[in-house]
Amino acid sequence: MTTISNHLPTAELQALDAAHHMHPFTANSELGEKGARVITSSKGVFLKDSDGNEILDAMAGLWCVNIGYGRDELVQAATRQMAELPYYNTFFNTTHTPAIALAAEIAKLAPEGLNHVFFAGSGSEANDTNIRMVRTYWAEKGQPEKSHIISRKNAYHGSSVGSGSLGGMTYMHAQGGMPIPGIHHIGQPDWWTEGGEQTPEDFGLARAQELEAKILELGEEKVAAFIAEPVQGAGGVIIPPATYWPEIQRICDKYEILLIADEVICGFGRTGNWFGATTVGIKPHIMTIAKGLSSGYAPIGGSIVCDEVAEVINAVEFNHGYTYSGHPVCAAVAMANLQIMQDENLLDHVNNVAAPALHAALNRLAEHPLVGGVNAKGMMASLPLTPNKETRASFAMDRGTVGFICRDRCFANNLVMRHVGDRMIVSPPLVITPEEIEVFYTRAKTALDETYKTLQDGDMLKSAS
């Protein structure tokens, strides 16, 4: 990897960053005092920072760089497309080959019956599309009052007003007037934290049945859709018990509720199939996509829509769209990404090489006194940290205190692992090799040891009562 040295010294970059750049999901004044880490280049599963450190990115950016960094095919696709047609819209009776090709390719890869794509610039935009699309669908079918959408607490569906309302993050709802009316949140299938003495199976069933209770409370004639990730990502990589999804599917079928699978993280190989819906065995009407669609090389998202919904929406003028819906450069980049995934049999690599090696490494980390267990599905996983493995107890300190310490120790050891509360999150590029997973293991083990030492020294290993 080449070191880019023709930039200002790190401290000057950090000062300019602090003076002018407002970071997302960040207390900017606090960050400004410490200085942000400046990432300068990347290759494969590694990042390089302005001080020359080589960092293993076990988060694939934000769960998106599935094919790894530095793939020239995507650079070439963008270059060619920029020269040929850098931009044109798809609004006014026009189209272009990158959008045509990508929509057709996505329809080919998607489960049966999901054959139509509405493009957006991001996952948030796509979920905003979904809110309007499902409400329009029922209105066109003569049921305009069937407009309420049920989601889940601790869900993440984006950060715009619409998608943030679908999400169930209370700290987001606390700012800026969310959720919008007509969105309801039921409990999440997080057995580790909330399951208590119940078996995972009983707990999963009970959480699914909250959907039925909510539908009956609102009235089935009022409920348009249920939205959920097959496996919650940003919520903490929460893998539902096996009883959960079959019961959700039964309830959606029974009450004629549209099922929206948010595949922004699960889609494009993350769970070992093209889509998480296949992994958990459900039949969604709409799937939200973004992130891995282009491996993050260009911003693009969308909604994959089933024939039945598309037929109704296509029969009217749907007054919705984005300037960059189906952006030609982003579409060409996404197409090159999907080409690589297929040419290199990336799903085989995930299922036969990367995921088994990752799970083995995580199981070794679970022997650490701080790690309560492993939640893993394909190439997404979480390690819950706990002062007591037997009881799955939380720490006596505020939730997230220990996770934050551990994330810091990971960073100090040139490893990117994120924390959600006191859970450490892993979602590496799908192309990661067993040798690189061994590097991951060694750095994670060191970070856990250092975290444990800090907790011991600070008398912080106590359980919450």
Paired tokens of 265: 């993280």
Angle at 258 between CA 252 and CA 262, to 5 degrees: 100
Q: Are 316 and 140 in contact (CB under 8 A)?
A: yes
CB atoms within 10 A of CB 70: 14
Q: How far apart, in whole angstroms, are the C-alpha atoms of residue 336 and residue 214?
A: 43
Select from 51-59, 82-90, 121-129, 198-206 the region that touches ligand PLP (CB under 6 A). Answer: 121-129
Q: Per CB under 6 A, does 128 bind ligand PLP?
A: no
Smallest distance from ligand PLP to CB 276, Å? 10
**Amino acid identity for residue 323 in this structure:** T
SS3 track for 377-400 = ECCEEEEEECCCCCCCCCECCCCC
Q: Rounded to the nearest whole angstrom, what is the least distance from the CB of residue 121 to ligand PLP in the complex?
A: 8
Q: Which stretch binds ligand PLP (CB under 6 A): 52-60, 181-189, 227-235, 341-349?
A: 227-235
**Whole-number Cα distances in Å, 433 to 44, 46, 128, 317, 350:** 10, 12, 37, 48, 10
The mark string for 151-190 relative to ligand PLP (x by CB under 6 A, - otherwise) is -----xxx--------------------------------
Nearer to ligand PLP, 71 or 152 (CB): 152
Q: Which of 134, 234, 259, 298 binds ligand PLP (CB under 6 A)?
A: 234
Q: Which is nearer to ligand PLP, 264 or 410 (CB)?
A: 264
Out of 40, 122, 188, 271, which residue is the one contacting ligand PLP (CB under 6 A)?
122
- Residue 330 has a CB neighbour count (10 Å cut-off) of 25
Candidates 186, 280, 290, 380: give the one binding ligand PLP (CB under 6 A).
290
CB 155 within 8 A of CB 232: yes
Closer of 264 and 383 to ligand PLP (Cβ): 264
Give SS3 for 152: strand
Kindly state the greatest CA–CA separation across the chain: 67
Binding flags for ligand PLP, 53-72, as an x/- string (CB under 6 A)? --------------------
296 lies in the site for ligand PLP, by CB under 6 A: no
Q: Does residue 262 bind ligand PLP (CB under 6 A)? A: yes
User: Rule CB under 6 A: is residue 233 a binding residue for ligand PLP?
Assistant: yes
396: left (phi over 0), alpha (psi -120 to 50) or beta: alpha
- Which residue's CB is nearer to ligand PLP, number 59 or number 264? 264
Task: Give the one residue of 98, 123, 179, 241 binding ligand PLP; rule: CB under 6 A.
Answer: 123
Q: Which residues contact 352 (CB under 8 A, 6 or more apart)?
A: none
Q: Are 32 and 419 in contact (CB under 8 A)?
A: no
Count residues near ligand PLP (CB under 6 A).
16
Which residue's entry shows tokens 């959720």? 179
Nearer to ligand PLP, 157 or 419 (CB): 157
Question: Of how many residues is the chain composed?
Answer: 465
**Interface pick for ligand PLP out of 204, 301, 302, 428 (rule CB under 6 A):** 301
Distance CA 457, CA 391 (A): 23
Provide the angle, in degrees to the nearest 10, between the axes of the packed helices 328-343 and 97-109: 40
**DSSP collapsed to 3 states, 187-245:** CCCCHHHHCCCCCHHHHHHHHHHHHHHHHHHHCHHHEEEEEECCCECCCCCECCCCCHH
- Least distance from C-beta 207 to ligand PLP, angstroms? 18
Cβ-proximal residue to ligand PLP, closest one: 123
Report 310-329 residues binding ligand PLP (CB under 6 A).
none
Give the C-alpha separation, 346 to 336, whole Å. Answer: 14
According to the binding rule CB under 6 A, does residue 271 interact with ligand PLP?
A: no
d(C-alpha 412, C-alpha 147), whole Å:
48
Contact characters 68-97, ligand PLP, x per CB under 6 A: ------------------------------
Which residues are at the interface with ligand PLP (CB under 6 A)?
Answer: 122-124, 127, 156-158, 229, 233-234, 262, 264-265, 290-291, 301
